[in-house]
Structure 1
Amino acid sequence: MPDFQTYLVGGAVRDRLLGLPVQDRDWVVVGASPQALLDAGYLPVGKDFPVFLHPDTREEVALARTERKTAAGYHGFAFHAAPDVTLEQDLARRDLTINAMAEDAQGHFIDPYDGQRDIAQKTLRHVSPAFAEDPVRILRLARFAARFSDFTVAPETVSLMRAMVEAGEVDALVAERVWQELSRGLMEHKPSRMFEVLRECGALRKLLPEVEALFGVPQPEAHHPEIDTGIHLLMVLDQCALQHAPLTVRYACLCHDLGKGTTRPEEWPRHIAHETRSEKLARGVSERWKVPADCRELAELVAREHTHVHQSGGFTAEARLRLLERCDAWRRPERFAELLWACECDARGRLGLENRDYPQRARLAADLAVTQQVDLAAVSAAAMARGAQGPAIGAAVKAARLGALRSFTDERQP
């Protein structure tokens, strides 16, 4: 039998204590060297520090380790893993007390930093001053706030994060890690909390100044009873979560109104032509954080077209056809459906209007379905039989689609 001890650590212990399903299990081995694990049949997989696969379960097992800050940013650490590193030392390097607990093979909890107390008090608290050495932890904490939305952040932890921001630690974050944490936070059940926490500690103005600029900017109360554009954005993001929207839709909603933060105060509360500015700003955010193409494309489309979708109930058939054309709806029907989904979240992200019907989504989806039924091959063949070529064939297709849309519009008139 090996003379080392294995402990379940981190999120699995936390979620078990919270009564939540355990998704991933992380294990730490104490009292072993890399060679001892190799001799016991473990398979090495780690590059930056010793991580192994259990010979039977194939779950990842890490050697207990300590870490030392060597440079600014996320990568500036040196790790030390050896048989003399204790479990308490390994847990001390973790970010939050609720993530710094362990469970032994007999089911006993090891909780040197009072994680169970903070679970009971619903508090997110850093384990030690070493929290300040890794700026990714600001994003991780904000993400946990979005997951455990009834938890509050300890005042001393907020102060520490503010000091980190002021020291420029956030400036050293790499795009890939920022997007990884932002995207995961957007997918939590209350994403607004992530942005509230980032704003409270000053990190939002560093990471997403375009979003920070929305707070305090008024909108017409007749359409937006919540008035504040930043508050509206948070409500829209929470609507996305309530509707179980995918990441593409949630990211698009994050960017949909960015242009309102650039309107001059003398123009308030109106935001004429904010859509074009929002599209440009969304493109900049996506480039900065290396956002995947599907997310960035939908974000630009929603920023540009969401107002038109909202107003489409009063559009003629010609105007609705132009909207479908601009959205490339026939070639990209799935993306068009996500545009409509984002617009519904936008419309419902308003104070007192969270449950209002949004008929535009169903109507425009039906418009697309009707025009998709036009037999393009037959229309093109008939046009060519009349001697049409090039653009004239395209005009015939457009006319056929418009005819179908007009007939459909007449049919659904009361």
Structure 2
Amino acid sequence: MQIYKVGGAVRDRLLGLPVKDVDWVVVGATAAEMEARGYRAVGKDFPVFLHPVTQEEYALARTERKSGHGYRGFTVFADPTVTLDEDLARRDLTINAIAEDEHGTVFDPFDGRADLQARLLRHVSPAFVEDPVRILRLARFAARFDFAVAPETMALMRQMVDGGEVDHLVAERVWQEFAKGLMSDAPSRMFTVLREAGALARIAPELDALWGVPQRADYHPEVDTGVHVMMVLDYAAARGWPLSTRFAALCHDLGKPLTPGDVLPSHYGHEGRGVKVVERLCERLRVPSDCRDLAVMVCRDHTHVHRARELRADTTLDLFTRCDAFRKPARFDEFLDACLADARGRLDFEDCDYPQPGWLRLQLAAANTVNAGEIAQGCTDKAKIPQAVRAARIRAIEAARLAA
């Protein structure tokens, strides 16, 4: 029995990056031998075991044969006769098909180290086309490492899209890869690669429709909506903001293009249209509620934040109420961050003055000084309590404006 460290752990070490998770492949062993050594079987689709002490994953060397559509459509063959090279050959990219033994000797049958040096993502074999998840993973790696895609690999991905293989991706897996890519340093790279392969139009047509939609050149020197949204997304990423803020940045302009399935006429404000589009995208990809809710909020109200100094006190209070700012101030801060990213995610606007978040936080703090309990106690007509609280908050906002 021979044990090798494989995949991301070897790749990241060679790149000089921190190694978080370590995976191992075991050559020349059976499931019975692994269990006899104290390993606990956990794999459902193929033989994977947890180390009795470290709890790291050890998988028996295996080969795979395509037997259906999607990433689950494989027949797995795990046997002591499967070699290390055969196991590495089933992997997606050359940079992930590198192994290392206990002595630190590196096994690199597909020249993955050369591709690491060239900053290139290249498929191991034509079997790459058999698993549509590989398109998502490659796009995510492009964003994480800022690597280029080999022309022959891009051609294979387009072939997969044209053949309908990506249509078999399940929503949970799409969101899982999207979420990881969004948390990279340059998430726009993921969407650029997906667009180039033609996959974004099939996976998220709402996002793909952003490109080619023109905007006013005085506010958007970059002109194209898709280009702008990618700049907004990268601005949010550069500040280390959380997934929910980044996803909201990605979705903030979804109402600008008309895409199949829109239920509101074009003369309806693009924010109203956008809410419907965001909700549809989130439902289809099963986006977590925290990301969905913030994305809806930003799509609906980011233009109100941009005009914050023009809003009346009562309109500002309505904004706070719609955004549930009194009960969820942390989420409101994320909302304002996404609006800031929208303002500065434009060509030559990266350092523009944007006092609106501070202006709104000042007024929210003033409105929060209103003691609703005291007002309720002083109201003889309980039905008038909400109106009285609202009036007091408006007065507090107006006073804060005068003092600012």
Flag whether TM exceeds 0.5 (same fold): yes
For each residue in 1:50-84, what CA deviation from the matched residue of structure 2 results, as whole angstroms up to 9, or x when unmatched? 11111232211111111111001111011111111
**1:165-176 paired onto structure 2 within 5 Å:** 165-176=161-172
Per the alignment, residue 266 of structure 1 pairs with none
Per the alignment, residue 381 of structure 2 pairs with 388
Question: How much has 1:358 moved relative to structure 2?
Answer: 2.1
Question: How much has 1:47 moved relative to structure 2?
Answer: 1.6
Question: How much has 1:117 moved relative to structure 2?
Answer: 0.7
Question: How much has 1:318 moved relative to structure 2?
Answer: 2.2
Per the alignment, residue 135 of structure 1 pairs with 132
Per the alignment, residue 340 of structure 1 pairs with 336
**1:130-169 paired onto structure 2 within 5 Å:** 130-149=127-146, 151-169=147-165
- Matched to 1:83, the amino acid is P
Per the alignment, residue 401 of structure 1 pairs with 393
Moved more, 62-71 or 364-373: 364-373
Determine the C-alpha separation between the residues in 1 that align with 2:242 and 2:354.
Answer: 19
Determine the C-alpha separation between the residues in 2 that align with 1:235 and 1:6.
Answer: 44
Structure 1: 5+ residue stretches without partners: 264-269
- Matched to 1:102, the amino acid is A
Determine the C-alpha separation between the residues in 2 that align with 1:60 and 1:276.
Answer: 47
- Asked if the contact 2:188/2:234 (under 8 Å) is kept, the reply is yes
SS in 2 for 1:354: coil
Q: CA RMSD in A?
A: 1.4
- Asked if the contact 2:376/2:382 (under 8 Å) is kept, the reply is no
SS in 1 for 2:80: coil
Question: How much has 1:332 moved relative to structure 2?
Answer: 2.4
- Matched to 1:394, the amino acid is P
SS in 1 for 2:59: strand
- Matched to 2:358, the amino acid is A
**1:11-410 paired onto structure 2 within 5 Å:** 11-149=8-146, 151-262=147-258, 273-383=269-379, 387-390=380-383, 392-410=384-402
Question: How much has 1:44 moved relative to structure 2?
Answer: 1.5
Determine the C-alpha separation between the residues in 2 that align with 1:50 and 1:358.
Answer: 55
Determine the C-alpha separation between the residues in 2 that align with 1:302 and 1:56.
Answer: 46
SS in 2 for 1:68: strand
Question: How much has 1:285 moved relative to structure 2?
Answer: 0.2
- Asked if the contact 1:260/1:271 (under 8 Å) is kept, the reply is no
Instruction: State the TM-score, normalized to the length of structure 1.
Output: 0.94
SS in 2 for 1:185: helix
Moved over 3 A (4+): none
- Residue-pair matches, total: 398
SS in 1 for 2:376: helix
- Matched to 2:193, the amino acid is V
Determine the C-alpha separation between the residues in 2 that align with 1:322 and 1:274.
Answer: 20
Per the alignment, residue 262 of structure 2 pairs with none
Determine the C-alpha separation between the residues in 1 that align with 2:18 and 2:378.
Answer: 61
SS in 1 for 2:255: helix
Structure 2: 5+ residue stretches without partners: 260-265
- Asked if the contact 1:67/1:78 (under 8 Å) is kept, the reply is yes
SS in 2 for 1:259: coil
Question: How much has 1:291 moved relative to structure 2?
Answer: 0.7
Question: How much has 1:272 moved relative to structure 2?
Answer: 7.3
- Asked if the contact 1:179/1:289 (under 8 Å) is kept, the reply is yes
Question: How much has 1:271 moved relative to structure 2?
Answer: 9.0
Question: How much has 1:210 moved relative to structure 2?
Answer: 1.3
Q: How many percent identity over aligned positions?
A: 58
- Matched to 2:349, the amino acid is L
For each residue in 1:162-208, what CA deviation from the matched residue of structure 2 results, as whole angstroms up to 9, or x when unmatched? 00000000101111101111111111110000000000010011011
Instruction: State the TM-score, normalized to the length of structure 2.
Output: 0.96
